[in-house]
Amino acid sequence: MSADLITLEDLKQDHKIQTATANDTTWDDTLSRIISGVSQAIATFCGRTFVAATETSQKIDGDGSVVLLVRYPVISITSIINDTTTVVETTNWEAYLKSGKIELTDGTVWTKGRKTITITYRHGYEVGSIPADLQMAAMTWASKKFFDIKDDRVGVSSRTSADGASISFAGSSVSRNMPDEVRALIEPYKTYGQRWLS
């Protein structure tokens, strides 16, 4: 899917998965569903849309000289409308593409009020530029979920191994029990505060 952080080919490069599937393509549909599931779960956890998509038109409350776009990083800005006035001159404002911040630089302020600003823009990471740590998080989680399914561990609350150790497999949903290593990788991308699209 277009919102996936990794491709089926990426995941099948994992040595453990190569060994487990023996490159059997009958697992491809399952792997693809897992990739989409963990990619969506990561995006939801972070409150972000990572993969570049079509233009978004966002209405923002006006107050002061700075606004924060809900989707970032920003690829391009098509138009900015402050109240009913289209802001054309790029010398009047500066965009911080990585953080999604737009600041007026000509001494003026945005029209104060609810939804007084409309900004149309493209956002996310283009194919081939998704950060390596996000891809590693998706790879790690997808691999774990694959073996949970393949080894029939989904939905099992616990099982005792041959040496008597208790192994927990609680939580069958892809959005539950995020591995600690995945959480550590994606935590820096999490959105905090009032940055929600309405």
Express each pLDDT in 84-107 by its tens digit.
888 867 778 999 999 999 999 988
Confidence of residue 156 (pLDDT cuts 50, 70, 90): very low
Question: Would 39 be classed as within a structural domain?
Answer: yes
pTM higher than 0.85 for the full model? Answer: no
Residue 72 and residue 111 share a domain = yes
> For residue 184, what are its two tokens?
């550590």
Confidence of residue 163 (pLDDT cuts 50, 70, 90): very low
Ramachandran area for residue 128 (φ above 0: left; ψ -120 to 50: alpha; else beta): left
Question: Would 176 be classed as within a structural domain?
Answer: yes
H helices of the chain, in order, are: 8-11, 15-21, 28-46, 132-150, 180-186
Question: Would 2 be classed as within a structural domain?
Answer: no
Contacts of 151 (CB under 8 A, 6+ apart): none
Interatomic CA distance for residues 139 and 142, integer angstroms: 5
Residue 65 and residue 46 share a domain = no
Residue 66 and residue 43 share a domain = no
Question: Would 131 be classed as within a structural domain?
Answer: no
- Among the candidates 100, 123, 146, a domain finishes at 123
- Among the candidates 123, 145, 173, a domain finishes at 123
| Number of domains into which the chain is organized | 2
Confidence of residue 193 (pLDDT cuts 50, 70, 90): low
Question: Would 77 be classed as within a structural domain?
Answer: yes
DSSP-derived pairing of the beta strands 93-96 and 101-104: antiparallel
Residue 76 and residue 43 share a domain = no
Full residue range of the structural domain in which residue 146 is found? 8-50+137-189
pLDDT at 110: 93
Q: Tell me the β-bridge partners of 120.
A: 57, 79
Residue 83 and residue 181 share a domain = no
Residue 61 and residue 43 share a domain = no
User: Which value, to the nearest 10 degrees, does the dihedral of the CA atoms of residues 29, 31, 34, 39 take?
Assistant: -110
